[in-house]
Chain A
Amino acid sequence: MNEHIIQTIELTKKYGNIKAVDNVSLGIRRGEIFGLLGPNGAGKTTIIKMLATLLKPTSGFAEVWHHNILKEQDAVRRSIGIVFQDPSVDTELTGRENLDFHARMYGLNKEVREKRIAEVLDLVELNDRAKAFVKFYSGGMQRRLEIARGLMHYPKVLFLDEPTLGLDAQTRHRIWEYIKRLNNAQKVTVVLTTHYMEEADYLCDRVAIIDHGKIIALDKPNNLKNAIGEDIISVQVSDGGKFSDILTKIEFIKRIRLHDDFLFLSVENGEKMIPRILRLAHEEGVLVHSVSLRKPTLEDVFLTFTGRTIREQEAGVKEQIRMKAKASMRMGGKR
């Protein structure tokens, strides 16, 4: 079952001199949930749009369900469903009418149409609101309707571009369940983009971490986490630099990262190491504000590969300056 149903070879999209997507070669397997994980502006959406024939690549090539995205656009369009990042439903129509429009555009006959509309409405539990105008739907309901619509024409691949962006935690979990369910029950291959680590971790069979248009890691979430190793103890101390120097001499600590006044220590059996670290801090006269233990997450994977956290990356330059200014004001106030 390792057949690739999406294959890209050196796929590249340039905007002027900027490479939004830079030589991406990847294969997506039939039946899997595949995640493109990366910060905003990393090129995830651009990849999806090229695969969905909405954008033409600058160079390189891709096949979806064995159809060339440049030469067989209609065949590609027929075999994919897509849920865009921004809403794309007609709010002046009812939920049912939106599905009906889609079904007709994809040439489903009346019988199939009726049957399929009932099925997909059932899947996303929108039966009772099908006759209401979409303008009266909540954000979560609209997203569910769009997922249902993406499935209408029995696509082989469903693209979900940031499927839970802007939704509250409860709704997000519900959407996750739908995605799992449609992947299981409808045997649809799912390709999703996200910048939520926990979403990629929870949903995806395999994840490609993407940054500045390049794929920097691709594997099962567990393998990615194991690859960067062990548990992480984060210690907030009064003098991070000094304590860091002391800890470098300790052998059971494999890696140290300093981030403001936080130290991130990679160790094995983290829970047993915490007392030893605290004792050491006490002996050296370093004040410890807080300690926490974490098993590795995809966030750490991202950090390891790029040297930044995904959230840092996200905040624009202006925002970062503003945040720093705020932080220093706050500290000044305390002193």
Chain B
Amino acid sequence: MKSLDFTAIYTIWLREMKRFFRARSRLIGSLAMPLFFLLFLGMGFDAAFKFSDMPPGVNYIAFLAPGIIGMALLFNSITSGLSVIWDRQFGFLKEIMVAPVSRVSIVLGKTLGGMTTALLQGFLILLIVVGLGCFKITGVIGFLSAVICMILIATSFVCLGLIFASIINDMQGFHLIMTLFTFPIFILSSALFPLERLPLWLKYLSYINPLTYGVDGLRYCLIGMAHFSLTLDLFVLVCFCIFMIGLSTYFFGNVEVD
């Protein structure tokens, strides 16, 4: 009962993939928002204000780009919890729950599925950002560290989405809670502005926001600019990630289907 069932994990993951690649409009829609943010907000702010803390050669759009990757990961990860709500509303969750498969395997299958889709979208944004010339990828190590940051961000927030989905039963409720959480997390993550000159209370809010460390890590790996050290970023991300996996397994294990 407690054991991991790799076939089941793969099966659940495979279904998520099929559904993802068949919903093209969803893919395009999920890419649109981060790109709007990057282009319109980036261009607009870059033209209107002079940001004082930028290192030489880094403009606002380059500063913003890693934040936008973080944003895409955050939004798409949490949204993946919707698949659980969808399964519940359309009855498919019963089919999953009545199978002779441990609950941990189901959580892992769903997590891997959500993680893969979020990462795919994250990489697409990364590709577009590099294509637009926001920054250049210089070293392999930098790139790989960025990938690790992306994986950790995606996994953590997919788990958050699953936790929401375990508690909330309907789509509207999920969307509401999602918006309520994602926007503060996004805005206070240093994705849009540097932390240095923030008022103290806002700074502390950013410090307790796990995405701050994700965006900071990404920014360090991609454009070489950071508020914390990469070690601290990775440490916080890994801790948060493990915590969220544990929490989501706990919540999902208590889901009752009726």
Contact = CB atoms under 8 A, between A and B. Distances in A.
Interface string A35-63: 00000000000000100111100000000
A318 to B, nearest CB: 23
A104 B91 contact: no
Nearest to B11: A104
Contacts of A106: 99-100
A104 B23 CA distance: 23
A328 B120 CA distance: 66
Given A54-B257, A74-B100, A77-B100, A91 B90 contact: yes
B100 A101 contact: no
Interface in A104-136: 104-107
B79 to A, nearest CB: 16
Contacts of B99: 77, 102, 105-106
Interface in B68-122: 90-92, 94-101
Contacts of B257: 54
B102 to A, nearest CB: 8
B211 to A, nearest CB: 31
Nearest to B106: A105
Contact of A107 (B7, B18, B91, B95): B7
B50 interface: no
Contacts of B11: 101, 104-105
Nearest to A85: B91
B136 to A, nearest CB: 40
* Residue of A75, A89, A91, A105 with most partner-chain B CB within 10 A: A105
Contacts of A49: 258
B8 interface: yes
Given A90-B15, A92-B22, A101-B15, A78 B92 contact: no
Contacts of A86: 91
Contacts of A90: 15, 19, 90, 92
A52 B98 contact: yes
B91 A84 contact: yes
A88 B18 contact: no
A313 interface: no
B7 A82 contact: no
A89 B96 contact: no
Interface residues of B, number: 26
Contacts of B7: 104-105, 107
B200 interface: no
A97 interface: yes
A54 B8 contact: no
Contacts of A93: 15, 18-19
A105 B18 contact: no
B156 to A, nearest CB: 27
Interface string B12-31: 00110011001100000000
B212 to A, nearest CB: 36
B1 A73 contact: yes
B153 to A, nearest CB: 27
A87 interface: yes
A331 B30 CA distance: 62
A97 B100 CA distance: 19
Contacts of A78: 100
Contact of B1 (A74, A104, A105): A74
A236 to B, nearest CB: 43
Contact of A54 (B18, B23, B94, B101): B94
A88 B15 contact: no
Contact of A88 (B91, B101, B256): B91
A92 B232 CA distance: 43
Interface string A242-279: 00000000000000000000000000000000000000
A186 to B, nearest CB: 19
Nearest to B97: A54
B90 A82 contact: no
A105 B90 contact: no
Instruction: Give 9 nearest A-B pairs by CB, closest first.
Output: A88-B91, A77-B100, A104-B11, A105-B99, A74-B100, A78-B100, A88-B95, A88-B94, A86-B91
21 contacts: A53-B98, A54-B94, A54-B97, A55-B256, A77-B98, A77-B100, A78-B100, A84-B91, A88-B94, A88-B95, A89-B91, A90-B90, A93-B19, A97-B18, A104-B10, A104-B11, A104-B14, A105-B100, A105-B101, A107-B7, A149-B95
Given A78-B100, A92-B23, 10 more contacts: A52-B98, A54-B258, A73-B1, A86-B91, A90-B19, A92-B18, A93-B15, A97-B15, A105-B11, A106-B99
